[in-house]
Amino acid sequence: MIQTLISTAISAVISLSLLFGGAPLSRFAFYVTVAFNAMAWIGWASGTVTGEVAERILRYWWISVPSTGFQLYALIYSGHPMMAASAFVVSFFIVASAARATGVLS
């Protein structure tokens, strides 16, 4: 639970920086988002969404959905719709992989 709350807090700060930060802070937040998005794609593609990780993703979905929605809103509103699309797709793939790994999707 603590890991999920920490990642949610980091995501919220980055999203708020995209929305309300000045040019340097907003640009930094965008680059951090790009790096996290690349790591998410690498993690999904390498098959790391299994076991305990998959269970944690599904256990705390109720925290992740609003956080991801806010991140997508911040990316779109700040002028980065392609990054928002990439973040949405990789989030969907990660959740689908978690569901498949835990047997929710057969």
Residue-range domain boundaries for the chain: 2-102
Note the pLDDT of residue 28: 96
- CA torsion 76→80→85→88, rounded to 10°? -60
Cα Rg of the chain (Å, integer): 14
Note the pLDDT of residue 2: 87
> Hey, what long-range contacts does 66-70 have (CB within 8 A, 24 or more apart)?
67/8, 67/11, 67/12, 68/11, 70/11, 70/12, 70/15
Note the pLDDT of residue 106: 67
pTM value is 0.89
Q: Yes or no: say if 37 and 86 are a contact pair by the CB < 8 Å rule.
A: yes
Note the pLDDT of residue 12: 95
- The whole-angstrom separation of Cα 61 and Cα 77 is 24
Closest by CA position to 40, among listed 71, 78, 80, 70? 71
Which tens digits make up the pLDDT trace of 20-35?
988 999 999 999 999 9
Note the pLDDT of residue 101: 93
Note the pLDDT of residue 84: 97
- The whole-angstrom separation of Cα 55 and Cα 103 is 10
- pLDDT tens digits in sequence order for the chain, 106 residues long: 888 889 999 999 999 999 998 899 999 999 999 999 999 999 999 999 999 999 999 999 899 999 999 999 999 999 999 999 999 999 999 999 999 999 887 6
